[in-house]
Amino acid sequence: MRLSLLFISLLLLTACVGLAIPPAAPPTFVVAIPISAATSTPAPPTATPPNHLTTQQPTPTPSPTLTATATLTPPGQLGPLSFPPDVNPLTGEVVADPNVLNRRPLAIKISNFPDCVRPQSGLSLADLVFEHYAEGGSTRFTAIFYGHDAPRVGSVRSARLIDLEIPAMYSSLFAFSGASDGVLKRLKEADFKDWIISPEFEPGHHAFYRVPKETLTANCQLLEHTLFTSTDSLWADAAAKGINTRPALTGTVFNAGPQPGGQPANTLSLAYTAAYIRWSYSPEAGRYFRYVGGFSHMDALTDQQLTAANVVVLFAHHQTTDILEDKVGYDPRTGRGGNYSLEIQLWGTGPALVYRDGQVYSTTWLRQDRFGVIGLVDSNGQLFPLKPGPTWFQLVNLDSPLTQPESDSWSLAPSRPTPMP
């Protein structure tokens, strides 16, 4: 199958760059078009990614290159370098009031474990959501708000190493509460530290509040599940500090029209260790609807099921670090056990799958500028357009096996990196 061969080629391309682990922080690149994808590729794991799609060995493809061409802009296309003043550059959607775009995007860390934290508040109003492994098999969200206000967001949880990357990509504010010593140290040294709004930086910050634990489900009344915030209060705080200015949010292409070259994909399942996710496409709504553990994943704020115009799977190397996140199973006598922080190397280039309009497309993701968004390119090196609307990014390890149980159904088993000895 065309998608299978392209996807395996991308995995092989990513696996050929060597086994050395790159530095913890990505190098800085100059943003320009054309952009070469031949350098700064994330280091793959030591094992060759398993092939569950075909027994054929495809010919490795050259590194993708994004080039500016003299071809006409496809009808209905928006971006990547400029957008109409009333179009949200993160979603490609028209906003009722263009003034809402004259602010800085806002990244908020939101819990997804244990099950009792669901339904969360505010996720349906986010422009972008990144779901990633935290540690111990659980997942967590970094949600980017920009075009919509959310009066209640949470529960707000602690940051992870991936949050050294996502806020930088969108030059966003970053709101969180708590972090391990190693992660917090790096956040306090980050090049966007002035854009961070957190009780860790300002104890008792007025933008965060706790709800009575009695208002939460009986098995979810621990203190860490009671913290919430609102986008209004966070943006107001940023404005008071003089940092709520609009950045240049270029690099994404949108087109509402159907795209060629896909394969049927009405469902996508992701079997994270602590959460079984399913995205199901609705032709009537033109969206993928999210389910977790077999139930509709709802938003407690809007009472709506979470949906996405695009579900993008980003394959990136996951490296276990020596930063201890928790002491579950930890033996102080031997120094063994516990859960350690993951470094998800979301820089350079890697394979990606884009699910939109009930189709799946094999692409390559590129990120070569520290403060640049992730670009998605096709096999010809051209930017692949997203459908206007919210996008969910599912981050998985490079060796995560992809299978096709049915002709229009795809399944991923996101692998976990080798734990610390």
Number of domains in the chain: 2
pLDDT for position 9: 47
Q: What local confidence, expressed as pLDDT, does residue 317 receive?
A: 95
According to the model, what pLDDT value does residue 368 have? Answer: 84
User: What mean pLDDT is predicted for residues 296-309?
Assistant: 97
* pLDDT recorded at residue 76: 85
220 and 341 inside one domain: no
User: Do residues 260 and 230 share a domain?
Assistant: no
pTM of the complete model:
0.83
Nearest to 142 by CA among 106, 115, 171, 116: 106
Q: 185 and 40, same structural domain?
A: no
**Average pLDDT of span 65-90:** 76
Residues present in the chain in total: 421
Please list the residues that pair with 403 across neighbouring strands.
Answer: 411
- pLDDT, residue 334, reads 72
User: Do both 54 and 146 map to the same domain?
Assistant: no
Same domain, 106 and 218: yes
DSSP state of 50: P
CA pair distance 293, 270, nearest whole angstrom:
11
Q: What is the C-alpha to C-alpha distance for residues 184 and 186, in angstroms, rounded to an integer? A: 5
282 lies in some domain: no
The mean per-residue pLDDT over the stretch 84-94 comes to 97
Same domain for 234 and 372? no
Average pLDDT, stretch 273-295?
Answer: 95
Burial code of 95-115, b = ≥16 C-beta within 10 A, e = fewer? beeeeebebbbbbbbbbbbee
Tell me what the mean pLDDT of segment 49-68 comes to.
36
Structure tokens at 142: 């970094």
Which residue did the predictor score with more confidence, 334 or 263?
A: 263
pLDDT at 108: 98
Is 73 within the bounds of a domain? Answer: no
Domain that holds residue 15: 2-67+250-264+308-412
pLDDT of 243 reads 97
Shared domain for 61 and 13, answered yes or no, is: yes
| Stretch among 56-65, 189-198, 290-299, 369-378 having the lowest mean pLDDT | 56-65
Q: Quick: pLDDT tens for 304-359.
A: 999 999 999 999 999 999 888 876 766 777 777 778 889 999 999 999 999 999 99
Domain annotation covers residue 232: yes
Would you state the pLDDT for residue 418?
73
Domain identity same for 197 and 61: no
Cα–Cα distance for residue pair 201/223, rounded to 1 Å: 19
Enumerate the H helices of 109-251 as residue ranges. 166-169, 181-188, 231-240
Q: Are 81 and 72 in contact (CB under 8 A)?
A: no
Task: Please say if the pLDDT value at position 49 is more than 50.
Answer: no
* pLDDT of the residue at 284: 98
Q: What's the CA gap between 362 and 314, in Å, rounded?
A: 11
pLDDT tens digits, 194-243: 999 998 888 878 889 987 766 666 677 666 678 899 999 999 999 999 99
Question: What single string gives the DSSP state of each residue in 363-413?
Answer: EEEEE-STT-PPEEE-TTSPBPPBPSS-EEEEEE-TT--EEEEETTEEEE-
Amino acid at 172: S
Give the model's confidence band at 96: pLDDT under 50 very low, under 70 low, under 90 confident, else very high.
very high
Q: Tell me phi and psi for residue 66, to 5 degrees.
A: -95, 120
Q: Is residue 53 part of a domain?
A: yes
Distances (CA, A) of 131 to 144, 158, 399: 12, 14, 17
Q: Answer yes or no: do 61 and 110 share one domain.
A: no
* pLDDT band, very low/low/confident/very high, at 26 (cuts 50, 70, 90): very low
What pLDDT, on a 0 to 100 scale, did the predictor assign at position 72?
56
Query: Domain for residue 97, yes or no?
Result: no
Neighbours of 308 (CB within 10 A): 23
The CATH number of residue 233's host domain is 3.50.90.10
Host H or E run for residue 15: helix 2-15
pLDDT of residue 218: 64
Three-class SS state of 322: strand
Burial (CB count within 10 angstroms: exposed 0-12, middle 13-18, buried 19+), residue 247: middle
Q: What does the pLDDT read at residue 258?
A: 92
CB atoms within 10 A of CB 370: 17
Has residue 276 been placed in a domain? no
d(CA 28, CA 14): 20
Q: What is the pLDDT of residue 404?
A: 95
Q: 254 and 385 in contact (C-beta within 8 Å)?
A: yes
Q: Indicate whether 36 and 143 sit together in one domain.
A: no
Give me the pLDDT at residue 118, please.
Answer: 82
Mean pLDDT of 17-28: 32
Radius of gyration of the chain (CA): 20
pLDDT given at position 18: 29
Residue 314: DSSP 8-state: E
Residue 209: inside a domain, yes or no?
yes
The rounded distance, in Å, linking the Cα atoms of 35 and 5 is: 24
Average pLDDT over residues 143-164: 94
**Strands (DSSP E) along 169-236, which ranges?**
173-175, 196-197, 208-210, 227-229
Predicted confidence at residue 10, as pLDDT, reads 47
**pLDDT exceeds 90 at position 15:** no
CB 325 within 8 A of CB 406: no
* pLDDT of 46 above 70: no
Place of tokens 């031949």: 38
**42, pLDDT greater than 90:** no
